[in-house]
Amino acid sequence: MSDVQQINSGDANGIGVRQGSKMAAGMTRRDLLASGGAIMGGAVFGAEAFAQQPADTLATKQTWPGRTFGDGLLKGKVAVITGAARGIGRSIAVDMAANGADIVGLDICAKITPEQAYAVANKEDLDETGRLVKQHGRQFMEVVGDVRDIAFLRATAAQVQQRFGHIDIVVANAATQRFKPLIEMEDWEWNDVINNNLNGTANTIRAFAPALVKNGGGRIIVLSSMQGKHGSKNMASYSASKWGIIGLMKSAALELGKDKITVNALIPGLVDTPLTHNEARWSALIGEVTANENPPKNPTEQEAYDTRAPHVPLKVGWLKPEDLAPAAVFLASDLAAMVTGATYDVTGGDNANNQS
Ligand SMILES: NC(=O)c1ccc[n+]([C@@H]2O[C@H](COP(=O)([O-])OP(=O)(O)OC[C@H]3O[C@@H](n4cnc5c(N)ncnc54)[C@H](O)[C@@H]3O)[C@@H](O)[C@H]2O)c1
């Protein structure tokens, strides 16, 4: 655990302090805030969380060890996370484990559509998520399968109940995307994205929510996108699926509130994961920020980062997957008991340019 960033709670003021850092030297709440840290109730989110992230090739070398927020925020909880083999799903799994949760990591570990234009996740990726989870002393149940198959999801829910006795948190994260002008799309290209992202997310809620009801409450977090809040050129099916997920989330929040289940959407901005780590996406984002109808077809990663960063309020070309995980831990925790039907944006500031 030596490489795990850990925030311990309990100094004289009831504020958590980071061992071995200058924050541990008798800081007051005011000192901590002045240094860039933030206090939420008794939990302290350290100044490092606000540090600038360099542009590097994270997507292919994701070794995030996880970090703790406060004292066992998710202690004793069981979290089911779809799309857990890598990217944002892996970061959420590892940070939830670091905060005390046992993890059920589900992933297809194979091609999602016949012509997938970016790297395919495999079983080794999911194994690696399991290894990182277990480093925190938590259990990892590995499940390989497809969120489009609701019978499989229901059988998985029964297996999880049998093994752990309860399910507390569900993160519907699995998704895909395709680039194609709307009028050039084949029928299957439209249907695949809608089916995978929107139906897959609905299936996940429909399959696992009954266990949460039985358990007397719980947390559901769905992954939407900034592209679920504005249109996206050549990505209409993705954008439509992500808008649909927000409608789904709000409807589920209305229905499940009486069962003490909160349902919220995490809204990432652009994040460096295998989903977006490709020349087509980099070319599109250069076109978006420069209003260039013909952006370079094969830009380098650094070119894309440098072109975009000045247009983002926090001056980053994109976020890292681990930037998203703290918000998921918060939404899954008791601290967020009164948050439901909400969208929670983690975008580097992209949403400051957006009305929603
Ligand atoms: N990366 C971004 O910039 C970004 C921005 C906004 C929203 N998001 C959303 O965040 C979530 C995670 O994306 P990511 O960037 O980590 O992508 P990713 O491709 O790195 O990871 C997604 C994982 O989901 C799995 N998956 C996809 N379809 C599946 C299915 N039918 N059944 C089971 N597993 C399936 C994949 O195998 C993969 O391991 C997605 O919902 C995505 O739409 C990402």
Contact 156, 207 (CB under 8 A): yes
Same domain, 164 and 245: yes
Gap between the Cα atoms of 105 and 90, Å rounded = 8
Q: How confident is the model at residue 86 (pLDDT cuts 50, 70, 90)?
A: very high
- For residue 61, what pLDDT band results from cuts at 50, 70 and 90? low
Counting ligand 1 atoms within 8 A of each CB, the residue from 64, 173, 288 with the most, and so the one to mutate, is: 173
- Residue 176 CA to ligand 1 centre (angstroms): 6
Question: Ligand 1 pocket check: which of 125, 195, 248, 271 to mutate, most ligand atoms within 8 Å of Cβ?
Answer: 271
**Is the same domain home to 127 and 162?**
yes
Mean pLDDT of 116-141: 96
Our CA dihedral for 210, 89, 151, 236, rounded to 10 degrees, sits at 110
- 161, 167 in Cβ contact below 8 A? yes
From the CA atom positions of the chain, what is the Rg in Å? 20
Please tell me whether residues 173 and 239 are part of one structural domain: yes
Measured between alpha carbons, how far is 144 from 156 in angstroms, rounded to an integer?
Answer: 10
CA–chain centroid gap for 182, Å, is 27
Residue 293 CA, ligand 1 centroid: distance in Å: 27
Q: What is the mean pLDDT of the chain?
A: 84
Where residue 269 sits, what CATH number does that domain have? Answer: 3.40.50.720
Burial of 157 (0-12, 13-18, 19+ CB in 10 A): buried
- Probe residue for ligand 1, chosen from 129, 149, 176 as the CB with the greatest number of ligand atoms within 8 Å: 176
Residue 304 located in a structural domain: no
Q: Find how far residue 308's CA is from the centre of its chain.
A: 22
Dist CA 280 CA 322 (whole Å): 23
Task: Write out the residue range of the structural domain in which residue 29 sits.
Answer: 1-51
Task: Kindly give the distance from the C-alpha atom of residue 197 to the centroid of ligand 1, in angstroms, as a whole number.
Answer: 9
294 within domain boundaries: no
**CB-CB contact of 88 with 321 (8 Å):** yes
C-alpha of residue 13 to centroid of ligand 1, in Å? 41
How far, CA to CA in Å, does 54 sit from each of 57, 80, 125, 132, 327?
10, 31, 24, 23, 21
Residue 112 half-sphere exposure, CB side, CA atoms within 13 Å? Answer: 27
Please indicate, yes or no, if residue 194 is contained in any of the structural domains. yes
First to last CA, the chain: 40
Over residues 268-278, the pLDDT tens digits come to 999 999 999 88
Q: 196-200, 207-211, 230-234, 245-249 — which is least confidently predicted? A: 230-234
Nearest to 222 by CA among 340, 66, 62, 354: 340
- Residue ranges of alpha helices (H) inside 86-228 are 87-98, 123-134, 150-164, 187-193, 200-214
Confidence band for 64, pLDDT divided at 50, 70 and 90: confident
pLDDT range class, residue 70, cuts 50, 70, 90? confident
Residues in Cβ contact with 318 at an 8 Å cutoff, skipping those fewer than 6 apart: 55, 269, 270, 271, 272, 276, 305, 308, 348
Best CA proximity match to 195, nearest among 223, 155, 236, 237 = 237
Ligand 1 lining (C-beta closer than 6 Å): 82-83, 85-89, 107-108, 112, 121, 146-148, 173-176, 196, 200, 223, 225, 268, 270-271, 273-276
Contacts (Cβ under 8 Å, ≥6 apart) of 221: 169, 170, 171, 172, 263, 264, 265, 266, 328, 331, 332
- Tell me which residues are annotated as active site: 238
Tokens describing residue 111: 């091609």
- Say if 285 falls within a structural domain: no
Domain boundary among 51, 73, 91: 51
Question: Within this chain, do residues 76 and 138 fall inside the same structural domain, yes or no?
Answer: yes
| 226 in a structural domain | yes
